[in-house]
Amino acid sequence: MVWLAYSIKEQIRITDMYSLFEVHYDNGYEFPGETHNFWECVYIIKGEALVSGNERVYNLAQGSIIFHKPLELHKFIVNSPEGARLFIFSFSAEGPLTAYLEEKVFELSDFQKGIMAELLAFLRARTDQGSLAAGTPCSYLEPFHTQPTYPQMLASWLQQLMLSLAEAGAVSSVSSAPDVLIFRNAISYLNSNIHRQPSVPEIALFCNVSQASIKRIFDRYAGMGIHKYLLKLKIKAAAELLQAGETVSNVAEKLGFNSQSYFSRAFRRETGLMPSSLK
């Protein structure tokens, strides 16, 4: 008898974890906008939250999960009267499936919710978890230091979920609220003018709203001012150009920075890396 070997080609593999916690936030809690060079997911265990990723805004309910790709600007606001219980984790991953997960929000099926329920039960059983006080995260990273099998078991559940979503994931649609459309319009304008520094009055005029309105909209959906948001867009664009082989000086010039040294300082402040390290 001839035995054939069937190779297993990994579609996704989680390589590192940066955060892993469960938390309850009261109604009205706002997580300020941030960006970092690794993935982050927010899973709604209970309640509802308004979540943004770059220009996309979603109203997420219980059983929904959002994937924020590296360098994506993201924030959330809890908007259910009873507050919201969230499971948040950030990680690095490799494999062809990572591209599919970019800019995705899913409403989990009963089977996929079962995976998450099993994972959470495993995490809670392996850690010293007291009562979950509002606003106080319960971290599940400590067993990484003491339980050798823990990281791989955790990764296996998360990878099973991601594989299931790729096969049969119900993708959620973005919000079409009037302020959200204005927000998306403004970001489109910023991206089209990323080589310079458009002013707030100019952006407000383009969106046909007042300066006060455009500032309020950015504060709500981005968690930061327009110029700070534009800087983060420039840094994201810079990372892509550098990875494509552009020189640091060319990138600084293309994106409208006053000098190469200022660009390098800003890039390091926002990413923790020197621009030259991406080449």
pLDDT, one tens digit per residue, over 47-83 is 999 999 999 999 999 999 999 999 899 999 999 999 9
Which of the residues in the chain have pLDDT under 70?
Answer: 129-134, 279
Q: Tell me the pTM.
A: 0.85
pLDDT, one tens digit per residue, over 176-186 is 889 999 999 99
The pLDDT assigned to 127 comes to: 83
The pLDDT assigned to 279 comes to: 62
**Amino acid identity for residue 244 in this structure:** A
- d(CA 15, CA 7) in angstroms, rounded, equals 20
Q: In a 10 Å sphere around its CB, with 0-12 CB exposed, 13-18 middle and 19+ buried, how is residue 97 labelled?
A: middle
Tokens of 58: 């979603």
- d(CA 37, CA 263) in angstroms, rounded, equals 18
Tell me the sheet residues that pair with 139. 21
The pLDDT assigned to 132 comes to: 63
- d(CA 74, CA 53) in angstroms, rounded, equals 4
The pLDDT assigned to 223 comes to: 85
Between the CA of residue 211 and those of 42, 185, 195, 201, 225, what are the distances in Å?
32, 14, 22, 6, 12
The pLDDT assigned to 76 comes to: 95
